[in-house]
Structure 1
Amino acid sequence: MNNFSLNKGWLVLCYSLILGLCLCHSPSFAQNVPLSTTSKQQVTGTITDGTSPLTGVSISVKGQQNTVVSDFDGKFTIAVSSNDILIFTYMGFKTLAIPVAGRSTINIKMQEDATALQEVKINAGYYSVKESERTGSIAKITSKDIEKQPVTNVLATMQGRMAGVDITQDGGTPGGGFQIKIRGLNSLRENGNEPLYIIDGVPYSSESVGYSNITSGMPTPTSPLNSINPSDIESIEVLKDADATAIYGSRGANGVVLITTKKGQAGKTKTTVSASSGVGKVTKMLDLMDTQQYLEMRRQGFVNDGITTYPDSAYDINGTWDQNRYTDWQKELLGGTAVINNLQTSISGGSALTQYLLSGTYRTETTVLPGDFEYDKGAVHFSMNHFSEDKKFKLLFSSGYTVQDNLQAATDLTRTSRNLAPNAPALYDANGNLNFENGTFQNPLAALRGITTAKTNDGMANTVLTYQIIPNLELKANLGFTDLKNSEQRILPSTMYDPIYQLGSDNSLLYSNLTMRQSWIVEPQLRWTHNFETSKIDVLIGGTAQQQRSSRLYQLGIGFSSNSLIHDMASATTKYIFASDETIYKYQAFFGRINYNWNQKYILNLTGRRDGSSRFGPGKQFATFGAVGAAWLFSNENFLKDSPVLSFGKLRASYGSSGNDQIGDYQFLNTYASSGLNYQGMIGLEPTRLYNPDFSWETSRKFEAAIETGFLKDRIFFTAAWYRNKSSNQLVGIPLPGTTGFSAINANLDATVQNSGVEFTLRTVNFDSKGSKWSTNFNISVSRNKLISFPGLEGSTYSNRYVIGESTSIVKVYHYTGVNPQTGLYEVEDVNGDGIITSLGDKKTIADLTPKYFGGLQNQFQYKNWQLDFLFQFVKQQNYDYSPNVPGGSPINQYSDMVNAWQQWGDIKPFQMNTSGQNGDAVNAYYNYVDSDATIVDGSYIRLKNISLSYDLPLQILKGVNCKLSLQGQNVLTFTPYKGGDPEFKYTGYLQPLRVYTAGVQLTF
């Protein structure tokens, strides 16, 4: 590990330098300080787009270093001579050149320019590039898209808006996470497919900080990405192909998500206050049986089993419970309304040399479950940019701190709401106490006395120092630091259970998790650019030194003298430690890029990175990755340059490799842990992992070819891309014989996973006239994931999971053949013909759960002060249908369609006979049915994912104050044949995503 002895003194030295620079260069916050004040007169004016003022427009004097920017009201003041020419430039608008001609007032109306979008700078991580000149595949959304969505997780803002980026929500519990796949699954390991997240140049770990025993109320542990505040984000770029990701080496195998936070703008101080309030409801309930349908199903079950006397425990049907009572338990337990409130304020401004931004956000969100559960989130963000007067030195500083406090139920009641008999007793008795109906009713509200708490404090700071040594030679240092602390508890008091059991606090349980993570990064860089007569070159070299330290403590406490002490682990009678460890991850690398552009027609981009990771053993710690990308701007050829139809055309292609070290720390070493067992007064150690010195990197090789075309001055812009990625040298657990004492050893498997597909995007400006505009954005991705090689698969334990030539997301199931009219039982195909249905011999039908295609359609309308934006998301896929855990006839509610169950010999019915559970053949047949392709159904959907309507309210009384009113909706409307709840959701036993509506107001002054 000596190769990774990184000196923290670098970090201390760099931050000391920052402090000194801040003291030496005290910022001036006067409005519009020009670089040159030798002019003879002052010219003032206002810049608009025809309806509203434009902030941040650059106004410069042609041929001089005299530049100012327009303020929040679109106003500017600049010192000029009477014969000067003013140049007005603004991203997305046509550049104007206006002679002063002795005037003292010049008011400007700028026009949008679709073609200018190709000049927009795209963040590619270590460098930025014009949209027209990029050779890699990069998708982007901006704050204009983000601010229209009432969401709290950064991944939610990207759903349906980016080709090749598949995002699904984990559930409707506040603070829950999302799953992201960028061009498919590359690794056979479930936890080896996360992309790299970079926030303002600082890597942000997406490794879960939760623990499954703690967060069992949610389908997946707590997502650390909730700490990223969407309202602080200026743009999100997703790097997808080898040309874009290879410069990140081993960290870019699964794509890179670049998050850029908002920065201040020069001008007078601007204050913005936004407030919104909304409600959330479950998107879809299941169509279940009512009381009479349910009781008839139960009676049939006993009749079919030959039981004439109902058992004492059959409270729903033997008369113990009211057989005329009906409760819609889904509505009762999940039909509540989540209340969402959000408040945000920001202050920004500065001079031409120094700009600043300070913002704060506070959000609260309740849940649809009964009870006082709430998710609170507060965040503060600060950024400052400073330039020296000669523009040679630049300092960029940004920081953020987020506090989350999440109090939720320890048990998700979704499955309970679907299982409960519709004639189950009331939740409360006549005295308002929880009703247990004399010990016959397991009251679901009692489970809500068990709670989970998650408190997360997350801070991040980033500083970028840039100095221009000589013209075209720039020295840069990127410094970053992150600090996360996550404390979780799952509290299960004895009061959760029926008092009839007389359980005391000595039966109470407390699970706790304390996770802390700190990381720092130092990246020196040197960039040289040079313009030749007909070409230009851009060279970048740099290095990375990074370290992450993580510690965790997972504990279980049993038995307390009083439930009032249950929050204190030290008060537990018995304590168990699941895990107590500290790990250090060290990473270092050298990277480079050479970009050559000849005559604005032919572009060659070479990137490479030499990576070193402490997660591998001696001799395996370092690897080299690289890529080559090329582009031909054929629209700049002489025969097309003045085409009235084709305004832009580019062919691009890339090939390269990247790696993957997402395997956790110390996986190649012999490791030991405390056994927790006392032997002769000593606690012994037990081996937990075997040494494997050959453990090495996964490798992904990526190829892409694409065409980008713009027509009619880019009012129609179309992109088509084809890609093929192959990931080999897979890091998996290879099974071992039980005699070794270990079930598996971590090693590289000579298996290869391939992801291929096509992506299409279309952007059109359908209408653009005075004060009115209508534009459309469409994207669709068609992808295929398959295992193309796996030596020795048939003889391995993976033979029941994978098939050569099929997706790695397949499931092997029985083939369902229907209900036998004679026996009334579900039947599946006996594939091997041995007369016995077995998993090994008959599960041969393959169901692929990978989406066949997905995408989104977005429309944006603007009419004077009104703006309407809506996004339709669509997915073509298969999904598991909802299935109760017992067959029809058991004391579990079922789909209302199951009234059509088989009843007598010869019936042709879609569902088998009901059983009380005493018919073993019927029970076995049911579980074979659940494990067959009958329960894998069409889960495709088209969803009105987001809608936003806003109005800029003219406030003539309050001069200088802008007011915007908005209405927003998320998960508004879904069209789907799927009956099992929300078709996007993969976890049928948990709370599904919510439909959310919010109303808000924004004041700017």
Structure 2
Amino acid sequence: MMRLNKLVVLVLAFFCCHLTVIAQQVTGKVTANDGTPLLGVNISVKETKTGTISESNGAFQIAASPGNTLVFSYIGFATYEVTLGNEKNVDVTLKEDAQSLTEVVVTALGVQRESKKLGYSVTAVNTDQLTQNRTTNVMESLEGRVAGLNITPPAAGAGSSMQIRLRGQAAFAGANNAPLIVINGLPIDQGARGVNGLGTPRDLGDNLSNVNPDDIESMTVLKGATAAAIYGARAANGAIIITTKSGRKNQGIGVEYSSNYSTQHALNFFDFQTEYGQGTGGKRPTSGANAATTGHFAWGERLDGVPTPIFDGSLQPYSANPDNLFGFLQTGTDFTNTIAMSGGGANGSFRASFSNTDAEGITPNNEYNRKIANVGINHNISKKLKLQLNINYTNEQQVNPPQIGTQGPGAVNFFTRLATSIPLSALKNSAIAANGTETLTSGFQGTLLNPYYALAVGQRYETNRDRFLSTATLRYDLTDWLYVQGRYNYDFALTFTESHDPGGIGTSVPTNADGTFKGGYNLSESKGTDVNADFLVGGGKEFGKFSVDANVGGNTWRVKNNGFNQSSSNFIVRDLYSIGNGSVRNQGYGFSQYRVNSLYGWAELGYNNLLYLNFTGRQDWFSVLNPEDNSELYQSVSGSFIFSELMKNQTWLSYGKLRASWAEVGSSNGVNPYDGVLTYGISQNQFQGQTTAGISGNSAPNRFLRPFSVEEKEIGIELRMFGNRVTLDVSAFDKITTDQVLDVQLSNTSGYNSSKENLGSLKNSGLEFLVEVKPIQTPNFSWTSSWNHAFLATKVLSVGAPSEIIVLNWGATGNEFIGQLRYVEGLPMNQVYARTYLKNEEGQILLTDQGRLIPTTDYVSFGSSIPKHTGGWNNAFTYKNLSINIHFDYKLGGVVISSTALNANRQGHSKQSLVGRREGEKGVVFPGVYRSNEQPNTTAVDPATFYADYRNNQMGDIVTFKSDFVKLRNVSISYNLTDLMRKSNVLGFIKGLSVTASCRNAALLYKDIPDLDPEAIQSSGDFRSGYENTSLPTTRNFNFSLNAKF
């Protein structure tokens, strides 16, 4: 017996020793691609099913044998496997998986939901795209990356705004067509303070400039009405949901630093003629006085280099200087630095960051500075009570944003209309005349300003904006499936603007004996307060194969705005910028406030991970509407069918979903406070010593106004195939907007000029595609290619009786007196109208007996300015720690009238204007027939007269082009140095390090419009849709960035 016991002990000892050899302890560390330690990573041994999770510093320990396979899995990252040899230490770097990241998305009201349960189109943005090709406005990085999201950055200087449209333009021009922006649960309007067709304004940016790309945790685009229906009236144009970072639990203290430096170089697409110089009637200037009134005409003699008088009386070679504009412009720069500290323990996490941006535009003295402080806190006060706090403070300073337009003192307007025979050095050195005023260069006094004069005498426009955003959320878990939540949002903005208009500038309204301006000074201040408070009661529970998720809540939204402005002009003492120095003074004050109260709810019913049905409803009560009828009900229903659950034996299909939705939402855009009641104002005039008052404005109140309505239907399919190597997402939608709020002209006998009414109906319908393919996926090399495309068809269903047309005259918005923007029943939206050639029944162009053009009496359509096709193609390559990204995008199917082309033809600068004045030509003999006898034209017309007729007759034929383009938008290359840092004895304290170099607007591969980049034609508003109005040249940006974690 004793011997048997000894034998058993020896056998057990042998096996224990053997197991010790086989099941050794393996240790290691798990980090993200940027070097951040990952807490809670699941590590398992594939053969034995044993497992563990990583600690806060990423460390782990697990028993495994040589030849075993360790499997590392973590939400948001690609699963990674490693086969063990004899090593006892294994360090693993997990890479983010874009597919995994989209499994859970942030939807309306900040609620996280599984994407498979959604019956509508939602796109989760890869936030790396926001920092790889950084610009001052975070949305610019998304051009061509999301199907149905149309982004156009106006070429309007540092810190300018974006035009953002989701699935077209829901309302007529003039209304707010931008999607709702929601930051940490706080809804804000885009608030574009940009060029919208009024005079020659400056672009002052938008509310998205408050967001630092380094602070963004997630961004979700809710395209359709169903996705955003729970936001009610504010989200008729869709919504973009942004969540900022707030640290991670149990990660310890970490510091992150990022630095980005970029240069912007103006792109020269101008190809003006360089054969003829300044002058009129085929003659060059003969004196300085003659030259001073013809500087912007190039109808002179052939350039020959002979010294010729210019505007300042000096003799200069009669030669071409085609790059004057680009000699005046400078290289723009943008330097952004962000430092952040984050940490987390068992009961919460935090992140605090500060960023500073210093930028200079491509026009001299255009500066932009932005400082952003951001704090995010998550804290478990108790096991059931949780606090989330987000605070954002932004200060923006914008100095001398350039003026845009052909009827004002913008630099582009000046140089593109200037004869190339005038050298840049003379414009700079002779800008100031002997009497201290602007030296006259052109007969267009007041329309064209030598920008060197403005620089020399200190013309200045400066705006300072402070913005404070805060969100506080308390959530209490009543049970493990039921919670109650309260949230308070506060948004405050203060904007101060000051402008100096120096004396001596040539003006069309002369105030001095010499016809120059005496100087002016303007001050303005505006305050806006936006308060949102909401509550939510929600929960979810499973009942066998069935699941229910339901939420009910309410919201109150209060807005208060006030502001004042003071101005003085006709200075008594020149260049003394004071309100009291002006002999003409004006002041004004404005105030408005309104409120919207809401109740809402939604419910989700699920069956067996196969079927999901969602319902939403929201009732809004508006203070701006008639109290007797001031509420609207918005509702939606959507469903999804995960048909891949029924096809699990089909190995080629990883995931398949059909979805469908219907929604009815609306918007009170266009209904302003007090539109339904009479308002009164106090006049500065007095009668018999008493202050007088009267009815304010010329618009008759309409107490029966109501929000316009948007009804949208959508269907779609999502497929992931061949082990998630191929992804397909297709959506079709149909959206109709009715009862839009429009201004209607009234007879003057009524005592008013206009009134607002609910009129008009518009339709947007389209298809959206996303195709993503991963042709190569190996441990060291991968290639992911994705293509998104959107087709958009628009139609005007009604503009209201009795008219079938709404006309927006560009001539009233600071343009070169050509064309109209129209909404015509039965045609696509945003029709570009102008006169055209008068023709006979055979289609021949009719001319006068003098060989001159005859315009049609009526305006005709040249097409819609809205592109029918938009999209992008992205290719991402990774080799070990090296990443390369190449992105193309395009817009096709729109038209544009070019003010630059109009002036270039009329003033003799374009190559087209050479026809009729080269050697052997006596004028333009236009191919047409005489109206009087329909015989072929043989009469030559002086070119200056011929091309002026297009402008004088409002004819758009030779200045209307396709706005199509195809661009190589971005090229970037990144390298992750984290592995090198870990191996370094000196730099081991650096937990993550990466560097990136990129180029934005790398190449314009195709365009139709001459001399311009088609993207330089847009603005943040819709009034100038389809009208190019001498914006700044677009730029090619070179970016260099560094990101380090400690």
Q: TM-score, normalised by structure 2?
A: 0.81
Q: Counterpart of 2:779 in structure 1: which amino acid?
A: K
1:762 corresponds in structure 2 to 771
Query: Is the 8 Å Cα contact of residues 120 and 716 (structure 2) preserved in structure 1?
Result: no
2:1003 corresponds in structure 1 to 973
1:133 corresponds in structure 2 to 117
The equivalences for 1:652-801 within 5 A come to: 652-663=659-670, 664-681=672-689, 682-688=691-697, 689-749=699-759, 751-794=760-803, 801=822
1:173 corresponds in structure 2 to 157
Q: CA deviation at 1:674?
A: 3.5
The equivalences for 1:826-975 within 5 A come to: 827=853, 830=856, 838=857, 842-884=858-900, 892-901=907-916, 903-904=921-922, 907=925, 923-928=948-953, 931-953=955-977, 954-955=980-981, 956=984, 957-961=986-990, 962-975=992-1005
Query: Is the 8 Å Cα contact of residues 277 and 319 (structure 2) preserved in structure 1?
Result: no
2:418 corresponds in structure 1 to 420
Question: Which of 181, 188, 193 is the aligned partner of 2:172?
Answer: 188
Correspondence 1:385 to 2:353:
no
Say which is worse superposed, 85-94 or 452-461, in terms of deviation: 85-94
Query: Is the 8 Å Cα contact of residues 823 and 831 (structure 2) preserved in structure 1?
Result: yes
Q: CA deviation at 1:646?
A: 1.0
In 2, Cα distance between the equivalents of 1:79 and 1:480? Answer: 50
The equivalences for 1:574-653 within 5 A come to: 574-577=584-587, 579-637=588-646, 640-653=647-660
Distance 1:77 1:673, change over 3 A: farther
In 2, Cα distance between the equivalents of 1:403 and 1:242? Answer: 33
In 2, Cα distance between the equivalents of 1:78 and 1:549? Answer: 60
Q: Please state whether the residue corresponding to 1:934 is helix, strand or coil.
A: helix
Question: Which of 32, 37, 51 is the aligned partner of 1:55?
Answer: 37
In 1, Cα distance between the equivalents of 2:172 and 2:451? Answer: 39
1:9 corresponds in structure 2 to none
1:806 corresponds in structure 2 to 827
Distance 1:302 1:808, change over 3 A: farther
Question: Which of 533, 539, 550 is the aligned partner of 2:561?
Answer: 550
In 2, Cα distance between the equivalents of 1:860 and 1:743? Answer: 58
Q: CA deviation at 1:946?
A: 2.0
Correspondence 1:374 to 2:358:
no
RMSD: 3.8
Distance 1:59 1:864, change over 3 A: closer
Q: Counterpart of 2:499 in structure 1: which amino acid?
A: R
| Deviations, residues 341-373 of structure 1 (Å, cap 9, x unaligned) | 11111111221322111111111111222x333
Correspondence 1:405 to 2:397:
yes
Query: Is the 8 Å Cα contact of residues 901 and 910 (structure 2) preserved in structure 1?
Result: no
Q: CA deviation at 1:428?
A: 4.9
Q: Tell me, which stretches of 5 or more residues in structure 2 are unaligned?
A: 1-23, 45-50, 302-307, 311-315, 404-408, 443-449, 809-819, 929-936, 1018-1027
Query: Is the 8 Å Cα contact of residues 438 and 505 (structure 2) preserved in structure 1?
Result: no
Q: Please state whether the residue corresponding to 1:635 is helix, strand or coil.
A: helix
Q: Counterpart of 1:179 in structure 2: which amino acid?
A: Q
Q: Which has the larger radius of gyration?
A: 2
Q: CA deviation at 1:515?
A: 1.4
Q: Please state whether the residue corresponding to 2:823 is helix, strand or coil.
A: coil
The aligned length equals 925
Say which is worse superposed, 551-560 or 789-798, in terms of deviation: 789-798
Correspondence 1:995 to 2:1036:
yes
Q: Counterpart of 1:674 in structure 2: which amino acid?
A: I
* Percentage identity across paired residues of the two chains: 21
Question: Which of 520, 533, 552 is the aligned partner of 1:509?
Answer: 520
Q: Counterpart of 1:525 in structure 2: which amino acid?
A: L
Q: CA deviation at 1:513?
A: 2.6
Q: CA deviation at 1:167?
A: 1.1
Q: Counterpart of 2:1033 in structure 1: which amino acid?
A: Q
Q: Counterpart of 2:347 in structure 1: which amino acid?
A: L
2:322 corresponds in structure 1 to 328
Q: Counterpart of 1:225 in structure 2: which amino acid?
A: L
Query: Is the 8 Å Cα contact of residues 195 and 252 (structure 1) preserved in structure 2?
Result: yes
Query: Is the 8 Å Cα contact of residues 162 and 192 (structure 2) preserved in structure 1?
Result: no
Q: Counterpart of 1:898 in structure 2: which amino acid?
A: S
Q: Tell me, which stretches of 5 or more residues in structure 1 are unaligned?
A: 1-40, 304-308, 831-837
Query: Is the 8 Å Cα contact of residues 560 and 594 (structure 2) preserved in structure 1?
Result: yes
1:19 corresponds in structure 2 to none
Q: Please state whether the residue corresponding to 2:701 is helix, strand or coil.
A: coil
Query: Is the 8 Å Cα contact of residues 924 and 941 (structure 2) preserved in structure 1?
Result: no
Q: Please state whether the residue corresponding to 1:226 is helix, strand or coil.
A: helix
Query: Is the 8 Å Cα contact of residues 754 and 786 (structure 1) preserved in structure 2?
Result: yes
Distance 1:823 1:243, change over 3 A: same
Q: CA deviation at 1:472?
A: 0.2
In 2, Cα distance between the equivalents of 1:78 and 1:546? Answer: 54
Question: Which of 210, 221, 225 is the aligned partner of 1:227?
Answer: 210
Q: Counterpart of 1:542 in structure 2: which amino acid?
A: G
In 2, Cα distance between the equivalents of 1:122 and 1:906? Answer: 63
Q: CA deviation at 1:398?
A: 1.0
Distance 1:105 1:403, change over 3 A: same
1:248 corresponds in structure 2 to 231
Q: Please state whether the residue corresponding to 1:620 is helix, strand or coil.
A: coil
| Deviations, residues 561-620 of structure 1 (Å, cap 9, x unaligned) | 545541x4354443213x411111211101101001100111100011011111211123
Distance 1:627 1:490, change over 3 A: same
Distance 1:269 1:69, change over 3 A: farther
2:126 corresponds in structure 1 to 142
In 2, Cα distance between the equivalents of 1:438 and 1:556? Answer: 23
In 2, Cα distance between the equivalents of 1:604 and 1:99? Answer: 44
Q: Please state whether the residue corresponding to 1:984 is helix, strand or coil.
A: helix
In 1, Cα distance between the equivalents of 2:348 and 2:490? Answer: 23
Q: CA deviation at 1:714?
A: 1.7
Q: Counterpart of 1:259 in structure 2: which amino acid?
A: I
Query: Is the 8 Å Cα contact of residues 505 and 560 (structure 1) preserved in structure 2?
Result: no
The equivalences for 1:198-213 within 5 A come to: 198-208=182-192
Query: Is the 8 Å Cα contact of residues 923 and 941 (structure 2) preserved in structure 1?
Result: no
In 2, Cα distance between the equivalents of 1:913 and 1:365? Answer: 53
Question: Which of 531, 534, 554 is the aligned partner of 1:523?
Answer: 534
In 2, Cα distance between the equivalents of 1:213 and 1:876? Answer: 23
1:306 corresponds in structure 2 to none
Distance 1:584 1:754, change over 3 A: same
1:22 corresponds in structure 2 to none
Q: CA deviation at 1:67?
A: 9.6
Q: Please state whether the residue corresponding to 1:415 is helix, strand or coil.
A: helix
1:18 corresponds in structure 2 to none
Q: Counterpart of 1:694 in structure 2: which amino acid?
A: F
Query: Is the 8 Å Cα contact of residues 138 and 208 (structure 2) preserved in structure 1?
Result: yes
1:33 corresponds in structure 2 to none
Distance 1:68 1:575, change over 3 A: farther
Question: Which of 268, 271, 281 is the aligned partner of 1:287?
Answer: 271
In 1, Cα distance between the equivalents of 2:94 and 2:950? Answer: 71
In 1, Cα distance between the equivalents of 2:599 and 2:538? Answer: 14
